Amino acid sequence: MRKAEAAIARAPGVLQVDCDGQDMRVGLDDGAPRPCPARLEKLPPGKHALAVFAGEQAFATRSVVVEPGSLTSVRVEAPARLRVSANVPEAHVRVGDGPRVELRPDPFLLAAGAYKVRVDATGYVPFSEVVDLGPGITHQLDARLEPVGAKAEGGRGAGPWIMMAAGVAGLGVGVGLNLAHNAKQEQGDQSAADAYIAPSITGYAVGGAALAAGLAWFFWPE
């Protein structure tokens, strides 16, 4: 009885692979790829590595378990295609955990799923985005790289922020001088208190104007 069970457990199995896409091939373990659909017979039972190709390019590897003495069927999805372009010809791109390669016109063939795409070039701020790719779908990603030290959001640079910071500082000076004016009045030193009036008003006026100008600069359409 035990010998019979052991013989069954060692019995070769059959793997049937069907593919959803065209021009797809599959290779088992280190074997040569063959057109899909493929029926692989007399396989030792257990875990095997199934490589999936679109044309000549392998785009996915999955683990399959062949059952002893029986037929195991698997279905493979068509690859997703990702085209990446950039405004800098000498850019490089990395998709997911793949290698960093030169930007190319040919699409990346990938198993369906989410991938982080990073595009970089010397002298430019790197671009990154997560894309969700569906089987059999071609996705176009256009990366725009900005030169290092380029102007900030909207091309306005730091100008609006500096203007608004100066406005806040001016208002702060106006408030401080006004408090000093009130304190001198409470002490009965009216002449000293009067000396703070003009600078306080100037601080309010200049600070308010600078803050308003900075806000207008920031929000004004280009």
User: 14: which residues sit within 8 A by CB, 6+ positions away?
Assistant: 39, 40, 41, 42, 43, 66, 70, 71, 72
| Contact between residue 82 and residue 117 where contact means Cβ atoms under 8 Å apart | yes
Q: What is the pLDDT of residue 212?
A: 85
200 SS3 class: helix
Q: Which of 133, 84, 124 is nearest to 104 (CA)?
A: 84
Distance set, CA 163 to CA 157, 175, 218 (Å): 11, 19, 10
Distance CA 108, CA 85 (A): 12
Q: What is the pLDDT of residue 2?
A: 59
Identity of the amino acid at 20: D
Distance CA 43, CA 164 (A): 74
| Contact between residue 78 and residue 20 where contact means Cβ atoms under 8 Å apart | yes
What are φ and ψ of residue 177, in 5° steps? Answer: -65, -35
Residues β-bridged to residue 64: 48
Q: What is the pLDDT of residue 163?
A: 75
Q: What is the pLDDT of residue 30?
A: 86
Instruction: Render each residue's pLDDT in the chain as its tens digit; 222 residues.
Output: 555 455 556 799 999 999 998 899 999 998 899 999 999 999 999 999 999 999 888 889 999 999 999 999 999 999 999 999 999 989 999 999 999 999 999 999 999 999 999 999 999 999 999 999 999 999 999 999 999 876 544 455 677 778 788 878 877 877 776 777 677 777 777 777 677 678 778 866 877 887 788 677 677 665
Tokens of 8: 């069954």
